[in-house]
Structures are given as C-alpha cells and as structure tokens.
Amino acid sequence: MTKVNRKVVLSSPLDGVPTPENFKLIEEPSPEPSEGTFTVRHIYLSLDPYQRIAMAGRHMSADGKLDTGATPRAETIGQVIASRHPDFTTGDYVRSFGGWQEFSVSDGAGAFKIDPTAAPLSATLGVLGMPGLTAYASVVKLANIQPGQTVLVSAASGPVGGTLGQIAIQLGGRAVGIAGGEEKCAYVTGELGFDACIDYKKEGYGQALKAALPDGADIYHDNVGGQILVDAFSVLKDYGTVILCGLISQMNDLNGAKGFYLGLPIIKRAVMKGLVVYDFEDKRDEFFELVAPWVAAGKVKYKEDRAAGIESVAAQFSKLMRGENFGKTLVVLGPEKL
C-alpha cells in the first residue's frame, strides 16, 4: 500500500505578509516507519502567528531560516497508522509537530498521546492546547491574578486572549478585551462574557479604552505589540503587570519592527515579563484539569476558524497573518475516524 503524502513547501523567500504564492504543494510517497518510529495521519493542523517568525529563523523553535523547498513546522493532531515504536500503537491519537503535510513520521520526541474522549480533538490545539496553556501561564502563573483584579488583553477573540479573559473571570477577576471589528467585539462580550471589549479599528478607540477601565487595568497581556501595547500603557495601573507574549504586529516585518519606548514602563513602574509557553509544559496537566471541566460545562467557550484540505493551508495562514481570522486557526486534513 503506497500512500501519497502531500506537503506544503516554501517556494520563494518571504517578505512581509506571506501569500499563497510563497508556497507550493508537492507530493511524495507517504513515509513508512523505520524501527523505533511511527507514522501519523494528520487530522488537524494548527496555524499560529509564531510560525511566521519561525520561518524567518527568529523563533526559538527554529533552527535558522526556513529554506525554500522546506516544510514549515506546526503542531498537529493525528492518528497513528503504522508503528514500529514500543510506546505508540496503530489507532493512537497523538499531538505532535507534524508540520504542514498530511503524514509525518515521529520517533516519539515531542509526541504525546491524547485521550479522544477527554475533550474535542481539535480543542487540543486551541483552548485546551498551547494557546490555552499560554493564557493560563500568563494570567495565573506570571501575573498571579487575584479576585477583583482586572485584566486587559489584546487579540481578545483569538484563542489565547479569549481563553485568558475567561480564565480570569472564572477566578473572580474582570476581563476587558481589545479586538478588531464589531463582530469580534460582540463575540467577546456576548459569547465569551468579557466585561467589555474595545474595537481598535473604531474612531475614539483611546477614549473607549479609558471609559471601559476607569480604575485602570492591573494586568495587561500583550499579544500584538506595536501601537496597541503603547495604548495599553495609558490605562495600566501604576505598578501593574504586563505580560509580553506575541508581537504579531511585528511578525511580518521583522526588520522594520518598530521599537517600544521604555519610558512607558518606567513611568508606570510596570513589571514586564516575557512569556515563553514552552517553559510551562510541566503545568499542562494542572492547566487541563482546571480548564477542561469549564470547557465541558460551557463556562469557557472557544471558536475555530477552519479550512479544509492541505491545499488550503497557505491561504489560511496568509489570512491569519493579515489578522482576518476569527477564532483559533486550523486546517482539517482528514476525518477523526477512518
């Protein structure tokens, strides 16, 4: 049985926001496992902003710039279809870094079995996966939110921001979001239950931010950098905490990345902490145990921005990097069950 593996490779060097033309689809025989490895059929492919800096060789997961002809790294949920590995069996569901392709071979490093009955499979890439863990690490571990405190979060309709605000609310805090567009803001307050959401694309955004936070924010979680980070300082309480996480506004254009004026945290006596989610792998279980029941009970909600088929990956990534996604961005590569 020779299957075909379709994979996306970089076809031209990236400059600015990636377009589908930067990538091409190639076919190769589906990989067979050698001794000590197993083959995974991908079901869900995660697309995340950090993949853009990884392609530029500036993300810690990246070992240099992505060469043309190479396949971007990405987290996947899949099912083992052949195994010569003692710990993984055909039929197991796994979370691993399978990349932008339909099949991958793994030696088990960075691969984790998942229980398909514990939560929806795709949630393991979003609200209960790395974005959710990022939110938990930020607001619980680094910012140590206390009941009554207010957290402000940008990209609030996205998987990190949306989960973060909902965790804050479940822990007795208040959540104010920043998002782009009326539809996203309506979702953030109506569906996710944030106390307020400010549309940064709307006239009078700065005033609206101040009006939503008359007493200021104790914590600001930054997903975007740039001007929104600067604006957040205008409503940060003195001695407030700022968690630096994504710099999505700077990911497309790394050379032209606008710098940040450090006078702002000095004036506010802010504590700024850099967050790298990989540091919190050992907190994944406690995170899951806290948040999965909230998800199951409908107390913590999430939204997915899905596309289908390997041929849609590049366009879906481009959409994400243009900020046009709405919810956790992923691509469905195959059925959950064969």
User: Binding residue for its own copies (CB under 8 A) from 261, 281, 286, 324?
Assistant: 261
Among 270, 300, 313, 320, binds its own copies (CB under 8 A): 270
Specify the pairing of strand 4-10 against strand 150-153: unpaired
Enter the tokens of residue 90: 């055909």
Nearer to its own copies, 184 or 268 (CB): 268
Residue 259 contacts its own copies per CB under 8 A: yes
Among 22, 96, 250, 318, binds its own copies (CB under 8 A): 250
Distance separating alpha carbons of residues 154 and 200, to the nearest angstrom: 10
How far is it, in rounded angstroms, from Cα 69 to Cα 284? 34
Residue 225 sits in the site that holds its own copies (CB under 8 A): yes
Using rule CB under 8 A, residue 171 touches its own copies:
no
Pick the stretch among 176-184, 270-278, 298-306, 329-337 that binds its own copies (CB under 8 A).
270-278
Tell me which of 8, 160, 275, 320 binds its own copies, using CB under 8 A: 275
Cβ contact 214:205 at 8 Å: no
Q: Residue 336: what residue type? A: E
Alpha-carbon span 75 to 284, nearest angstrom = 16
Question: Taking the complex as a whole, how short is the minimal distance between the CB of residue 284 and its own copies, in angstroms?
Answer: 17
- HEC profile for 178-218? EECCHHHHHHHHHCCCCCEEEECCCCCHHHHHHHHCCCCEE
Contacts of 41 (CB under 8 A, 6+ apart): 78, 79, 80, 81, 102, 103, 334, 338
219, 152 in Cβ contact below 8 A? yes
Q: For tokens 């009554």, name the residue.
A: 148
**Count of residues that bind its own copies according to CB under 8 A:** 28
Looking at the Cβ atoms of 233 and 302, the one nearer to its own copies is 233
Residue 335 touching its own copies (CB under 8 A) = no
Query: 4 or 60, CB closer to its own copies?
Result: 60
Among 273, 283, 301, 306, binds its own copies (CB under 8 A): 273
- Nearest alpha carbon to residue 254 among 112, 125, 65, 31: 65
Residue with smaller CB distance to its own copies, 44 or 50 = 50
* Chosen residue from 148, 214, 274, 335 binding its own copies by CB under 8 A: 274
Does 136 sit near its own copies (CB under 8 A)?
A: no
**Three-state secondary-structure class, residue 282:** helix
From the list 9-17, 155-163, 243-251, 295-303, the region that binds its own copies by CB under 8 A is 243-251
Name which position in 70, 272, 290, 315 contacts its own copies (CB under 8 A).
272
Q: Are strands 174-179 and 150-153 parallel, antiparallel or unpaired?
A: parallel
Identity at 277, one-letter amino acid code: V
Among positions 114, 257, 292, 315, the unique one binding its own copies when judged by CB under 8 A? 257
Indicate whether 50 belongs to the interface with its own copies (CB under 8 A): no
262 binds its own copies (CB under 8 A): yes
Other CB atoms within a 10 A radius of the CB of residue 117 amount to: 7
Whether the CB-CB separation of 65 and 54 falls below 8 Å is answered with: no
Please say which residue, 217 or 270, places its beta carbon nearer to its own copies.
270
CB of residue 48 to its own copies, shortest distance in Å? 15
If one asks whether residue 276 binds its own copies (CB under 8 A), the answer comes out as: yes
Smallest separation (angstroms) from its own copies to the CB of 242: 9
By CB under 8 A, tell whether 269 contacts its own copies. Answer: yes
Q: How far is CA 95 from the centre of its chain?
A: 15
Which residue ranges make up the site for its own copies (CB under 8 A)?
58, 60, 225, 229, 244-245, 247, 250, 257-263, 265-276, 279
